[in-house]
Chain A
Amino acid sequence: MNLLQFFRRPRVRSAQQAKERLQVLLTHERGSRGLPDFLPRLQQDLLRVLARYVRIDRESVQMQVEDDGGVFTLEINVELPGGGAPAIHR
């Protein structure tokens, strides 16, 4: 340790920062659990995966959730392009 370091102001310890960040974050997260907010992310993920194999645009993947008297149905429609796309092996 050199003299300069010795005279520097004491830093906030990183563990203390970690604790404070966690406290704020978890208070927020505990409140917002269980919301069906995954649809946009699912759509993004699907697009990303499909795009690896076929040329596809955003409108090609449509999804909706229907509440059918207690039964939730997730419907996903994928429209594949007609020609010019690489072959897909099933």
Chain B
Amino acid sequence: MNDTVTARKPLSDSPDLQAFKLRGGSFTLLVVRAGDVTDPGFFSWLEGKVAQAPYFFQDAPMVLDLEGMAEEDTFDFPAVAGLLRKRGLVAIGVQNGTDAQNRAAAEVGLGVFPMWRAAAPISEVSDDMAEQADPEAAVERSHGRGRDEHPRGPSRVIEEPVRSGRQIYARNSDLVVLSTVSPGAELFADGHIHVYGPLRGRAFAGVGGNHAARIFCRSFDAELVAIAGHWRVREDMDDALIGKPVQIFLAEDQVIIAPDA
């Protein structure tokens, strides 16, 4: 699907420019995540994929994701583009490259796409279902694996109730929720989590691996709490704490839920 916005107003007041239109388009692009494009195995893998759905790949514009090529600072972009072209693909840009790689790509006329739109790998192109997972949600649900970063951003403050099914992630910061967190809702923060309404959903503090992160809440009724990937489910919680103000922290890799006087 692509949506087109037509600029109704001419670019300048000059009447000569009436004939031109500036149109913004958004297109679905193939992103090919190359482990190593200098590896001949990459092209035989690609050929196999193309053979599965030749029409789909015919003259398809694609973006080369260089995430797996961190060490290889410069390689022969024109040669790689030529090899891709032979398989029917038209390389139009790169993504997730190093600065040197981006410069090299730009020099041979390839575009540089922003890093944060890394797409999930397409595993079965002939499938009629869209198979794209949300990369941000995947990060949000990583349950504390990965980076060991400490919060540095301003706290994220949520004023409205957090309903079932909603996920909120305070990246590199604390998360403050002023209202209720319903069962089935999920809070994530790289830093601390503070909940001023009843906490009935799930809360994951220190998801970036910060063992010192804590969860504070006024009325505790959570389904699950986790600090830096260590969790406790409702069944393992003391019922006497339900409805009470508590603070939750990690001590020797144990999640401690302590009444907060």
Contacts and interface: CB of A to CB of B under 8 A. Distances in A.
Interface of A: 68-71, 74-80, 82
Q: How large is the interface on B (under 10, 10 to 19, 20 to 34, 35 or more residues)?
A: 10 to 19
Nearest to B4: A77
Interface of B: 1-9, 53, 55-56
A79 B2 contact: no
25 contacts: A68-B55, A69-B55, A70-B55, A71-B53, A71-B55, A71-B56, A74-B1, A75-B1, A75-B2, A76-B1, A76-B2, A76-B3, A77-B2, A77-B3, A77-B4, A78-B3, A78-B4, A79-B4, A79-B5, A79-B6, A80-B3, A80-B5, A82-B7, A82-B8, A82-B9
A78 B3 CA distance: 5
B51 to A, nearest CB: 14
B129 to A, nearest CB: 14
B235 to A, nearest CB: 40
Nearest to A82: B8
Nearest to B56: A71
A76 B28 CA distance: 13
A77 B7 CA distance: 14
Contacts of A68: 55
Given A71-B56, A76-B2, 5 more contacts: A68-B55, A74-B1, A77-B4, A79-B4, A79-B6
A32 B53 CA distance: 29
Contacts of A82: 7-9
